[in-house]
């Protein structure tokens, strides 16, 4: 009986402490402004998702703070990720949204990374990232066979080494031997789209979930054509577009495709807060994000915009990040040589 009594007392104390922490967090957020900072330029997929989340998130945070979305583009979101880790206050008022490919970048030793991805507090993600590469019809290339047979390298618009629009074509170049030239320097996928339209580059690779929304008119008009998808499961709306891993002819090529692009899609679009953010605020923001992503008003707006919602929790992202840093060192070395030629 004494043991059960002690267990009961412990449970009551824990519940009281949790309730007290939640009440303090609610009081903290009342009248405050929460800022979601996107590491890429306005008009792209990251920005589109962040602004949709921002319109609903405050309704699910106790205290109903105002939520605003800002952009801090640079180096494929590396500028913002470094800022989130080193400069942003860990007070639960600043949420970063960056390209999760940076996490793999840290594991393989990408230059310029000044954060430890294992120390961010992950809130979750609205969608996973399944990459598709599309090419302008004006380039004369509309199939993977035509791309493979190109006599000169085909230019793919990209951001900066280590970002998804860079990692995908660099991986295909090595794993499948495709004649690709990666052209970095764009601040976001919106800039890449303009580059394709102007003829600066022929194509690009990024999330199909956002590409089919942000590039919809050109895709529907046939001005831009998907030629390869780097996914574990093919998209139902791309039945005739080949899957990259099925074209690989060696185990090493398949490993590169999985580790360099395919597997990282699960943590490609994280929302995170700085290390040291109070635990009660982290939990409150995690719950608020989870509730937002299943809110009928949010889901309805996402459906109307044709935005795919495939959530991952903060806990799931934390475990996935741990797995990245447990990859075989030899594979990490090969990825480093592939993604940073």
Q: What is the pLDDT of residues 273-314, one digit of tens each?
A: 999 999 999 999 999 999 999 999 999 999 999 898 999 999
Structure confidence at residue 24 as a pLDDT band (50, 70, 90) = low
What distances in angstroms separate CA 202 from CA 68, 153, 198, 297, one per listed residue?
A: 35, 10, 9, 38
Measured in whole angstroms, the distance separating CA 311 from the mean position of its chain's CA atoms is 12
Residue 16: which pLDDT band, with cuts at 50, 70 and 90? very low
Q: What b/e string do you get for 15-39 counting C-beta neighbours within 10 Å, with b at 16 or more?
A: eeeeeebbeebeebbeebebbbbbb
> Counting beta carbons within 10 angstroms of the beta carbon of residue 63, is it exposed (0 to 12), middle (13 to 18) or buried (19 or more)?
middle
Q: What is the pTM of this model?
A: 0.81
Phi-psi category of 96—alpha, beta or left, where left has phi over 0 and alpha has psi -120 to 50? beta
Residue 243 has pLDDT above 50, yes or no: yes
* CA-to-CA separations, 185 to 76, 161, 192, in angstroms, rounded: 9, 9, 9
At residue 265, the pLDDT reads: 83
What's 141-166 look like in SS3? CCCHHHHHCCCCCEEEECCCCCCHHH
pLDDT digits (tens, 9 = 90+) for 154-182: 999 999 998 999 999 999 999 999 999 99
Topology of the domain covering 2-128+266-339: D-Maltodextrin-Binding Protein; domain 2 (3.40.190)
SS3 323: helix
CATH number of 131-264: 3.40.190.10
- Provide the pLDDT for residue 263: 82
Mean pLDDT of 91-108: 95
Burial group, residue 332, by CB count within 10 angstroms (0-12, 13-18, 19+)? middle
pLDDT(122) > 90: yes
CA dist 78 → 75, 105, 146, 259 (Å): 5, 10, 34, 20
Q: How confident is the model at residue 2 (pLDDT cuts 50, 70, 90)?
A: very low
User: Same fold for the domain at 2-128+266-339 and the one at 131-264?
Assistant: yes
The rounded Cα 36 to chain-centroid distance in angstroms is 14
Distances (CA, A) of 109 to 40, 113, 256: 22, 8, 16
pLDDT by residue (tens digit) across 262-281? 888 888 899 999 999 999 99
Beta-strand pair 312-313/154-157: unpaired
321-327 average pLDDT score:
91
- Report the pLDDT value the prediction gives residue 186, as an integer from 0 to 100: 94
Q: Map out the domains of the chain as residue ranges.
A: 2-128+266-339, 131-264
**Section 203-213 average pLDDT:** 94
Token readout for 106 is: 């840290």
- pLDDT for 128 equals 87
**pLDDT for 145:** 97
pLDDT at residue 15 in the model: 43
């Amino acid at each position: 009986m004494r043991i059960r009594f002690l267990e009961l007392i412990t449970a009551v104390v824990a519940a009281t402490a949790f309730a007290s922490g939640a009440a303090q967090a609610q009081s903290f957020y009342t009248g405050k402004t929460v800022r979601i900072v996107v590491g890429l330029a306005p008009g792209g997929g990251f920005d589109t998702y962040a602004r949709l989340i921002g319109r609903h998130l405050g309704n699910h945070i106790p205290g109903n703070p105002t939520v605003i979305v800002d952009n801090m583009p640079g180096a494929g979101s590396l500028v913002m990720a470094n800022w989130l880790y080193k400069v942003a206050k860990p007070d639960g008022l600043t949420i970063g949204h960056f390209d999760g490919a940076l996490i793999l970048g840290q594991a393989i030793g990408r230059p310029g990374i000044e954060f430890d991805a294992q120390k961010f507090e992950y809130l979750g993600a609205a969608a996973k990232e399944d990459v598709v590469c599309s090419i302008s019809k004006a380039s004369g290339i509309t199939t993977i066979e035509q791309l493979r047979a190109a006599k000169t390298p085909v230019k793919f618009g990209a951001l900066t080494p280590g970002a998804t629009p860079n990692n995908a074509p660099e991986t295909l170049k090595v794993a499948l031997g495709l004649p690709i030239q990666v052209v970095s320097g764009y601040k976001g996928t919106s800039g890449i789209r303009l580059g394709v339209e102007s003829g600066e580059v022929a194509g690009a690779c990024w999330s199909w979930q956002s590409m089919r929304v942000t590039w919809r008119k050109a895709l529907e008009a046939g001005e831009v054509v998907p030629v390869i998808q780097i996914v574990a499961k093919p998209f139902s709306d791309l039945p005739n577009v080949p899957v990259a891993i099925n074209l690989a002819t060696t185990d090493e090529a398949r490993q590169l495709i999985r580790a360099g692009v395919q597997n990282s899609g699960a943590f490609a679009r994280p929302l995170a807060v700085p290390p040291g953010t109070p635990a009660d605020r982290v939990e409150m923001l995690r719950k608020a994000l989870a509730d937002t992503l299943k809110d009928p008003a949010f889901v309805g707006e996402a459906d109307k915009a044709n935005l795919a919602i495939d959530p991952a929790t903060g806990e799931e992202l934390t475990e996935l990040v741990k797995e990245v840093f447990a990859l075989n060192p030899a594979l990490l070395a090969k990825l480093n040589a592939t993604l940073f030629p």
